[in-house]
């Protein structure tokens, strides 16, 4: 009779074991869902000090261009030569055709460089070109 009791006790231990496989499946599915639906912040890679403005509007951005106080152009954490700017703008605008170009120009940047970047965006066919500012 002792054997019967031990066999019953052993089968109860097996029944009480926790199976973590379904929980891990759910966690991995949630992880994949959050990665796919995450919105990534676009950054230029350069520190700029924007000018002040009295009014501002929010824009949908497909291309974010920074102009530093040394008149360097930065897109996607990389310095861009002025002669290849149009290709970079075209590539990024192709990924998101609904968005526009936002230029983050340092307040010490040359206005000629700002105009050049805006002209290159217009040459690609982008009509929505904005300059990022701080609100006073």
Pairing of strands 100-105, 78-80: unpaired
Using only C-alpha atoms, the chain has a radius of gyration, in whole angstroms, of: 28
Angle at 58 between CA 70 and CA 112, to 5 degrees: 25
Q: What is the CATH number of the domain that holds 101?
A: 3.30.420.270
Q: Residue written as tokens 């690609």? A: 124
For residue 85, the enclosing domain spans: 52-135
Asked if 96 and 136 count as a contact pair (C-beta separation under 8 A), the reply is no
What 3-state DSSP class applies to 99? coil
Residue 57 counted as domain residue: yes
Residue 56 counted as domain residue: yes
pTM of this prediction?
0.59
Same-domain status, 59 and 31 = no
Residue 46 counted as domain residue: no
Residue 42 counted as domain residue: no
pLDDT in tens, the chain (136 residues): 455 555 555 555 566 778 888 889 999 999 998 888 776 666 666 666 666 554 556 666 678 899 998 999 998 888 999 999 999 999 888 888 888 888 888 888 889 999 999 999 999 888 888 888 776 6
Residue 45 counted as domain residue: no
Residue 67 counted as domain residue: yes
> How many domains in the chain?
2
Residue 71 counted as domain residue: yes
Compute φ and ψ for 66, nearest 5 degrees.
-115, 140
Same-domain status, 84 and 128 = yes
Residue 7 counted as domain residue: yes
């Amino acid at each position: 009779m002792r054997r019967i009791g031990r066999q019953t006790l052993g089968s109860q231990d097996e029944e009480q074991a926790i199976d973590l496989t379904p929980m891990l499946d759910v966690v991995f599915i949630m992880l994949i869902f959050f990665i796919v639906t995450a919105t990534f912040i676009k950054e230029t890679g350069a520190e700029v000090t924007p000018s002040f403005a009295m009014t501002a509007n929010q824009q949908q951005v497909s291309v974010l261009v920074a102009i530093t106080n040394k008149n360097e152009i930065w897109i996607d954490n990389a310095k861009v030569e002025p002669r290849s700017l149009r290709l970079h703008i075209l590539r990024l605008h192709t990924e998101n055709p609904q968005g526009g170009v936002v230029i983050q120009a340092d307040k010490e940047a040359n206005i000629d460089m700002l105009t050049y970047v805006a002209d290159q965006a217009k040459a690609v066919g982008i009509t929505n070109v904005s300059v990022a500012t701080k609100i006073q």
